[in-house]
Structure 1
Amino acid sequence: MESTGRGLAVHIYADYKRDRVFVVGRLEDGRSFAAEDASWRPSVHVPSSSLAGLPAGLRTGFAERGLYALDGTALSSWTAPGFGAYRDAAARLASLGVPVHGAGSLADLYRSDKGLGLGVSVSGEARPGRRVDVVFPDARISSLEAADAPLSVLSLDIETDEADRSVRAASLAMADWSPKEKRLVRRDEPTIVLLVPAPGAGPGLSAGLPEGVEAVGDERALVSALSRIVTRLDPDLVVGWNVVDFDLARLVERSESLGAAFDIGRSSESARVLPKGRGRTATAVIPGRQVLDAMRVARSGPERYDDYALETVARATLGRGKEVSLRGAAKIAELDRMYLGDTAAFASYAALDAALVLDVLERTGLFALTLARAALVGIGLDRAWTSVAAFERAYGEALRRRGVAPPPFEEGRDVSGAAGGTVLPSRAGYREGVVVLDFKSLYPSVMRTFCVDPMARARSGLADDIVAPNGARFAREPEGSRWPLPDLVDSYFARREEASARKDATGSYVYKILMNSFYGVLGTSSCRYARTELAGAVTSFGRLVLLRAKERIEREGSEVLYGDTDSLFVATGLGPCAEYRAYRERGDELCRLVNEELAEMAAREYGARSRLELRFDKAYARFVIPPLRFAEASDGASDGASDGDEPAAARGRSKGYAGLLRGPDGDRVDVKGMEAVRSDWTPLAREFQLRLLGMVFSGASETEAGAYVSSTLASLGRGELDARLVYTRVLRRSASAYVKSTPPHVKAARLAGLTGRGAVSYVIAAEGPAPVDPDEYGASGPGSPRPDYGHYVAKQLLPIARSLAASGLPVPLGPFGLESPQPELF
């Protein structure tokens, strides 16, 4: 029967053996579907000039079809009779040194040729399926922008015995995406837990297990039951915390070892995990479904965390975490104890992990952001947060609309990475009436203004090229048209404004981070379009713009205290009692002058129309930049933008400042890059700095600040602040990998038995670093390491007081037995 459906394409993949493509997903009415297209065939594109040198049999069938290379070279195309023929021809041509343009995976080529994004319309004869609700065996498939569907999401978590690598338990929690509410809603049902009983467990074990827990005979039975249950639940996405590198990788490994089928997809093929390769992380393939690693998504999202363990992120976002919060050897020992002696508690722990992941994805909005990114770019959900894949998809489509094929990936080309943004040396000290001005999406605006574009670079070489400060050349845009990248960014700017106007925060954010990722991609070796001079052109223009803005502001008699990439901190001359409106008006006036200057510069020096826009961001009634520490000052760190004769004592820290932020609704202390907001300092140090800043910004005298310092030192010495003395640091590599030096947190990790990467909590005792549980460590007692209070005074409190005093704030050093400095900063 002929049928038509609208929905979301969850997985698009090619069947090489039968020369067909499957589009699998969920329809708007809630049914899962699989659409088969056996008519599509891929094409090979090569420079027309290369055909004469090919063997006669290989060049047969090639013809020009109005397609061109990035540099304008004419291409000839050949459509393969089948998928295997395409693969063989592309490989043969590459072996002969002939560049194949527009190459890629068959799924990506199909998506591009059909113009398919996340939303699709499917029509054709329909019949019931075995592993999906409906199958379209000879489908007509087209793109559909406005589609949505109630996606089902399964969260998977396993517990293992690390001694023999076996799987002890698997937990499955379900949720559904509500298109109407734009929410991920956890199902009101118990989490399923498949449990292999510990050796020696009695026959009555099942009677004492929590609801939803099922005891299975052995590990092989667990894999079989897992496959059966996933097939029954039929999720569109499988999510989990580190689910690709750990949970699925281990399940695939164990199923192969046991000879058990691990077919949890929408076909009879087993799930696979592809190892990481050139510029690619490990990837899980479950036919007909997608895998979303929640930990990777959290790393890519807008929020930053002390580390990316599920326990840390869950407590930060939900206010709750795992039932066992230990780490390293202590955690393994506790789970072993629970598994062997308290099966019900072990099962409860396993169930909670799977549910936590769903709650984190919903509370943070990361699931909604993932769908929005995939829909915007037209990319698979599993690659929605992959910047290179997103850029190549978006830019490749822009090329195709211009009759241009994406270039081949060139091994060994010059891509040394994207340089950092310009940082203007800061001027240390205390100021009043400071405004922060920032450029609206500076790097995307640079691309729009100065034609920074791979195609413009490839077609440069004329006398009127735009030449970037780093020497990169870009052809001017043809009359009445735009180069692909500036045009793409133009459209994103417009759509972001539309999203903001309709109060769509998710859409606005997605457009913003996509645009801002383009610069980094142009300096990433895994991107086919990347070149060192492309990324360098963006940063060199950015530096030029920042310096010109600084010069214009200083001609107005205002002092620029600091500049970083796209922001300028300006002392306005207004006092701390000025109203927010006065700061705003002064900032807006400076922005107007700078924008006029930059528009004139772009037109006069580059023949370009400026899209650069400096805007007022915020105002500080009181503001301080701490001076460089001695070691930093002696390094002479600078990007060369300073006058060169500025004394080291007058230079401030980069990316570190604090102020009394004044807004239309009141004042608050705001701290960036200083100890109070750094997780590698103790809670005591962070609280100490925040309290001092709050006092002096509110007008406290040196005597009042000194009384607080003395009180803190006294409380510390009496042991009243022990609970705030715990350091928490993150190991970026295993503790055993530290050979040349052994910093305190590594020593603590080794003592705690932490073998891999992760966070370690410890105190500094007289004997050295001692690992502790941050939730339980408090006043010193039997068995609890006693802090070395002298260490905390010398290494935590005194440096903060010294820094603030040297900045010109009324913070006395007398309580530490030192004389307060007499700063001569300005």
Structure 2
Amino acid sequence: MSGSKGSVRFCLIHADYVTNGEGEQERPVIRLWGKTDDGKSVLVTDKGFLPYFYVQHDASMSEADLRLMKNRIMEMRVEGRGPVKVERAKLNLLGRPVKLLKIYVPMPADVNKFREALKSWTDIEGAHEYDIPFYKRYMIDKGITPIGWIDAKGRPFKDDIKADIMLDADSIETLDKEGYPKLRIMAFDIEMIRTKGDEKVILISFVDNDGFSRVVSAGDSRSGGVRPAGSEEELIKQFVSIMEDRDPDMIVGYNTDRFDFPKIAEKAWDYKIPMVMGRDSTHFTFKRRGYISAAQIKGRVHIDLYDFIDNIMRGGLSTEVLTLSRVAQEFLGETKDEMKWREIEKAWEKDQAKDLASYCLKDSEITLKLAENLLPQIFEISKTTGQLPFDVSRMSYSQLVEWLLVRRAYSVGELAPNRPKFGEIRTRRNAAPYTGGYVHPPKEGLHEKIALFDFQSLYPSITITHNVSPETLDCKDCKASERDKVPESDHYFCSKKKGFVPMVIEELVNRRMRIKKEMKKLGKRTSEYKRLNNRQFALKIIANASYGYYGYAGSRWYSRICAESITAWGRMYIKDVIKLAEDEGYEVIYGDTDSLFVKIRTKKEARNFLRKANNTLPGVMELDFRNMYESGIFVLSKSGSAAKKRYALIDRGGEITIRGFERVRRDWSDIAKNTQEKVIRAILKDKSPEKAVKAVRRIIESLKKGKVDKEDLVIHTQLTKGIDEYEQIGPHVVVARKMKGYGQEVHEGSTISYIITKGAGSISERAEPADYASAYDPEYYINNQVIPAALRVLSGFGYTEDDLLGKKRIEQVSLSDFVK
């Protein structure tokens, strides 16, 4: 069979490489993992692709000198190995042609070894594309897209690998085919306790999308359908065997990179249990990703949903705390009971296996549902950027943009600029901030009949319209008529030749526009509509992230001037539209970066103004009319300066929108947020400031009497650096240290949840982890949370702290006196 020809069509879900041969004959073997339409698992190998990098040589070198250089390179030996071949290449670097030698080497690790060896050669001016991982290099060069379909032809083979079809490819072709096959997805969750100073894994739950469901315990009890393992050691062994038996294509979890997998790995190490979970019988490993390490399993895709939500989805959520329960409530409309560490420990001590099993199983069930909800979006981002689901689920916005640009650069003959070194990144980060978007100061108070307008993708539109790209900046070849001058600056951009980055962004924007047109023809409940909606979401977030990428310190295409220029045009356009509104006789209440709020009485007037505004805008710039609001509250900051995005609005349907208040910020307790929301609702919906004051007084009274639930008092603050790096020790740092003492995982990026308790000492000293806090300090919550949050709104209506504390009689206030 190994000598016969065969072929397979499959959907690519993962890629990696292994090595084959020894010594000078050692070569990499690309492995493509996937699934066929009829559910068969696939492994396709490719032994014919070699790693390479480029070196740039002096463009004036003679033919004879160039041949001599090629020969010298071919004669090199690094650790006993030489290059495989050297070719000439001519590509563009930031729009300028450069002459290169393309050096193929035996192994991926040889790329940097040979680059280092060539650094001292005086006739070599630099190396390029030496830092692209080998499996990514392969997908870029072959034009392969993850979650895309491939037709592979070659020789079938057999091996000790868990795959239904194995093929050593002679040829690889991409197919124009949509959708993806059903993948077996396994969700899991672990529960731990701390006993005698040590942590112990007590339960592991498993749920997959084929109906499999199981809870395994380290104890002996069978109650509640629990499968007893009898010991922690046996529990870890069963974790491995269940994963092996169920053979999932994807393993999903929530915070599994930081918690579940590291804890399981620790225990496996202690018990000397081989963690053989890969389809090729390899151990799972940890792959460094920023300040965390991602658990990687060969032949299977591990997705930590927490990473994806934290990096990509967080901005669209109303919850500030990314617990599984809060996130599930937003995405699924489903909640789950929470058990604190102490409650889990007590339940385990009392042998309440049924309750614990139900709790643990629910976590896996919700995680699976969340995965089924989010994986289509992850897959579309993967297809758009050309990066594996494993990678994109852990990438930041800037990384998504970068890898799309790297991939697209190859297809148009552009070299990807090298990543900056650490010193350069530090210099970029330490540079003084540049001017951002324009904020038109809000007219404080209550306003009626408000129209909201905003620019459609303002910064991407500016990038496209004005051709903002590093290689078009201050172009020396441009005639004066071809120079697009930046406002408030001496810089300009060439309008003659399309820049690389604007070209890529325009492709994204145009694709999204075409998709949205298609979506209008479809029913919102159809699978095709949902698929296209996920695709347009992927295109949107990457296009919108492109502006930030210019200013991202680690960017390959970094350009501070490009970033500054985009914001300068942004300020110009918002000011121009504000002036147009005022010239038309309308009052502008507030404007911020890409949006403005205008007093307009009817939708017809709003649309007429929109048409006039768009007639003044160039290129792909476009203003949108978003909504009409019956009334809205706008406030200034505590210092009296413009409060960026701090307003509350109510539309004709009674829907309230709140932006920038404590109600939508994570560093305030729920009691403060809920108080503020009640105040806003009383004013906007009930037209009654007096009702708002009474509501605040009731909440203060409840706090004094100790009747407020502990959950409403929790304050959440994220650690923005390591605990030991803080010079000013705030409450969250104190609590983080206490949590670490209790054996809990705490690191940069962790959200610290705490309550301010009664007692002596500073606020920081009285902060306790939410799970361990007992009696709260009512005076702190009244004076530092509830009253400031309420007065942020009510002070504009003449109320003071004494009014809220009941020291004065509530004055009757007419809202009409405050309508602007």
Superposed displacement of residue 461, structure 1: 6.2
Cα deviation, 1:404-426, whole Å, max 9, x if unaligned, reads: 22222232446338865433322
Report what 2:610 is aligned to: 591
Does the C-alpha gap of structure 1 residues 259 and 556 become closer, same or farther in structure 2, counting only changes over 3 Å? same
Distance 1:444 1:190, change over 3 A: same
Structure-1 separation of matches of 2:292 and 2:472:
31
Counterpart Cα distance in 2 of 1:596 and 1:297: 40
CA shift for structure 1 position 63: 3.9
1:645 is matched with: none
Q: Does 1:144 align with 2:160?
A: no
2:753 to 760, 763, 788: 760
Partner of 1:168: 201
2-side partners of 1:101 and 1:75: how far apart?
12
**1:383 and 2:391 correspond:** yes
Contact 1:524 1:530 in 2 (8 A): yes
The amino acid that maps onto 2:455 is F
Is the partner of 1:283 in helix, strand or coil?
Answer: strand
| Closer/same/farther in 2, CA of residues 540 and 485 from structure 1, 3 Å limit | farther
State the 1:442 CA deviation: 0.7
Cα 1:594–1:724 change in 2 (3 A) is farther
- 1:730 is matched with 716
- 1:714–1:292 CA distance, 2 compared to 1 (3 A): closer
Name which of 444, 458, 461 aligns with 1:442. Answer: 458
Question: Is residue 807 from structure 1 mapped to residue 801 from structure 2 by the alignment?
Answer: no
SS at 2:387 equivalent: coil
Q: 1:745 to 1:587 in 2, by over 3 A?
A: farther
Question: Which deviates the most, 813-822 or 756-765?
Answer: 813-822
* Equivalent position to 1:283, from 286, 289, 294: 294
State the SS of the aligned residue for 1:546. helix
Task: Please name the residue that 1:132 is paired with.
Answer: 163
Cα distance in 2 between the residues matched to 1:69 and 1:556: 48
Aligned residues: 748
SS across alignment from 1:399: helix
Q: 1:200 maps to what in 2?
A: none
One-letter amino acid of the counterpart of residue 42, structure 1? P
- Contact map agreement 2:739 2:769 (CA 8 A) in 1: no
SS in 2 for 1:522: helix
In the TM superposition, 1:284-323 aligns within 5 A as 284-299=295-310, 300-301=312-313, 302-317=316-331
Given that 1:457 and 1:473 are in contact with CA atoms closer than 8 Å, whether structure 2 keeps it comes out as yes
Quickly say closer, same or farther: Cα 1:672–1:714, change in 2 above 3 A: closer
Q: Which residue of 1 aligns with 2:99?
A: 75
Distance 1:348 1:771, change over 3 A: farther
Provide the rounded CA distance (Å) in 2 between the counterparts of 1:75 and 1:455.
17
Q: 1:772 Cα deviation (Å)?
A: 9.4
Between the aligned partners of 1:676 and 1:480, the Cα distance in structure 2 is 43
Q: Deviations over 1:495-534 (max 9, x none)?
A: 4434543444322222211111112222223331223223
**Displacement of 1:40:** 1.7
Query: 1:529 & 1:170 partners in 2: Cα distance?
Result: 48
Q: Hey, what does 2:12 align to over in structure 1?
A: 9
Which residue of structure 1 aligns with residue 24 of structure 2?
none
Counterpart secondary structure, 1:191:
strand
| 1:436 aligned counterpart, secondary structure | strand
**CA distance in structure 2 between the aligned counterparts of 1:727 and 1:736, rounded to whole angstroms:** 27
Q: Deviations over 1:247-283 (max 9, x none)?
A: 2233344444544322211213322113345xx7423
Normalised to the residue count of structure 1, the TM-score between the two structures is 0.80
Q: Secondary structure at the match of 1:594?
A: helix
8 A Cα contact 2:226 2:353, kept in partner: no
Structure 2 unaligned residues grouped into runs of 5+: 21-26, 76-84, 523-528
Q: How far has the Cα of 1:314 moved from its partner?
A: 3.6
Alignment of 1:509-548 (within 5 A): 509-548=537-576
Matched-pair contact (CA < 8 Å) for 2:255–2:306: yes
Task: Note closer, same or farther for the CA distance 1:721–1:157 as it changes in structure 2 (3 Å cut).
Answer: closer
Q: What is the distance in 2 between the residues matched to 1:730 and 1:714?
A: 21
Alpha-carbon spacing, 1:672–1:68, altered in 2? closer, same or farther (3 Å):
closer
Question: Match for residue 426 of structure 1?
Answer: 442
| 1:729–1:761 Cα contact (<8 Å) kept | yes
Check whether the contact 1:684–1:721 (CA below 8 A) recurs between aligned residues. no
- SS of the aligned residue for 2:428 comes to coil
How do 1:252-651 residues align onto structure 2 when only pairs under 5 Å count?
252-277=265-290, 281-299=292-310, 300-301=312-313, 302-317=316-331, 324-326=338-340, 331=341, 333-342=342-351, 344-345=353-354, 346-362=356-372, 365-385=373-393, 386=395, 387-411=397-421, 412-413=423-424, 415-416=428-429, 420-457=436-473, 462-463=478-479, 464-469=482-487, 473-478=492-497, 484-498=503-517, 500-501=519-520, 502=522, 503=529, 504-572=532-600, 574=601, 582=602, 584-599=603-618, 610-629=619-638, 632-633=639-640, 637=641
| Aligned counterpart, 2:214 | 191
User: Secondary structure, in 3 states, of the residue corresponding to 1:73?
Assistant: strand
Which range moved further: 433-442 or 406-415?
406-415
Partner SS state of residue 50, structure 2: coil
| Change beyond 3 A, Cα 1:248–1:516 | same
Q: Report if the CA contact (8 A) 1:804-1:811 is conserved.
A: no
Quote the Cα distance in structure 1 between the aligned partners of 2:700 and 2:101. Answer: 81
1:438 and 1:614 in contact (8 A); partners too: yes
Q: Confirm or deny: 8 A CA contact 1:102 1:406 kept in the other structure.
A: yes
Q: Which residue of 1 aligns with 2:82?
A: none
Q: CA deviation at 1:812?
A: 11
CA contact (8 A) 1:21 1:107 kept: yes
Q: Deviations over 1:211-260 (max 9, x none)?
A: 362415552x5444433332222222222122122222333444445443
The 1:736/1:318 distance shift into structure 2, 3 A limit, reads farther
State the secondary structure of the residue aligned to 1:138: strand
Match of 2:648 among 658, 680, 685: 658
| 3-state DSSP of counterpart to 1:100 | strand
**TM-score normalized by structure 2?**
0.80
Question: What amino acid is the match of 1:250?
Answer: K
Which shifted more, 402-411 or 728-737? 728-737
1:807 maps to a residue whose letter is G
Look up the equivalent residue of 2:643 and give its one-letter code. R
- CA gap of 1:94–1:283, structure 2 versus 1, over 3 A, is farther
Out of 212, 218, 227, the residue aligned to residue 213 of structure 1 is: 227
Match for residue 38 of structure 2 among 21, 25, 29? 29
Note if contact 1:449-1:611 (Cα within 8 Å) is conserved in structure 2. Answer: yes
1:670 corresponds to which letter in structure 2? T
1:824 deviates by 9.3
2:89–2:101 CA contact under 8 A, matched in 1: yes
Q: Give the letter aligned to residue 190 of structure 1.
A: S
In the alignment, structure 1 segments of 5+ residues that lack a partner are 176-185, 198-204, 575-581, 600-609, 638-651, 778-783
Could you tell me how far 1:738 is from its partner in structure 2?
Answer: 6.6
Question: Which residues in structure 2 correspond to 1:738-777 (within 5 Å)?
Answer: 740-743=728-731, 756=746, 757-760=750-753, 762=755, 765=758
Q: Quick check: 2:791–2:799 contact (8 Å CA) kept in 1? A: no
Letter of the structure 2 residue corresponding to residue 80 of structure 1: Y
Q: Residues of 1 paired with 2:560 and 2:199: CA distance?
A: 47
**Is the 1:252–1:273 contact (alpha carbons within 8 Å) kept by the matching residues of 2?**
no
Distance in 2, Cα, partners of 1:270 & 1:458: 53
Q: Give the letter aligned to residue 8 of structure 1.
A: C
SS of aligned partner of 2:616: helix
Contact persistence 1:735–1:750 (CA under 8 A): no
Instruction: Decide whether aligned partners of structure 1 residues 683 and 486 sit closer, same or farther in structure 2, where only a CA change above 3 A counts.
Output: closer
The residue type paired with residue 72 of structure 2 is G
Q: Output the amino acid matched with 1:5.
A: V
CA distance in 2, matches of 1:776, 1:336: 13
Separation (CA, whole Å) in 2 of partners of 1:20 and 1:484: 34
- Describe the SS at the equivalent of 1:251: helix
Amino acid at match of 2:306: M
Q: In the alignment, what sits opposite 1:202?
A: none
Deviation of the 1:670 alpha carbon: 2.7
The answer (yes or no) to whether the contact 1:438–1:566 under 8 Å persists in 2 is: yes
Greater shift, 509-518 or 340-349, is seen at: 340-349
Question: Alignment partner for residue 712 of structure 1, among 674, 695, 698?
Answer: 698
**What is the letter of the counterpart of residue 94 of structure 2?**
L
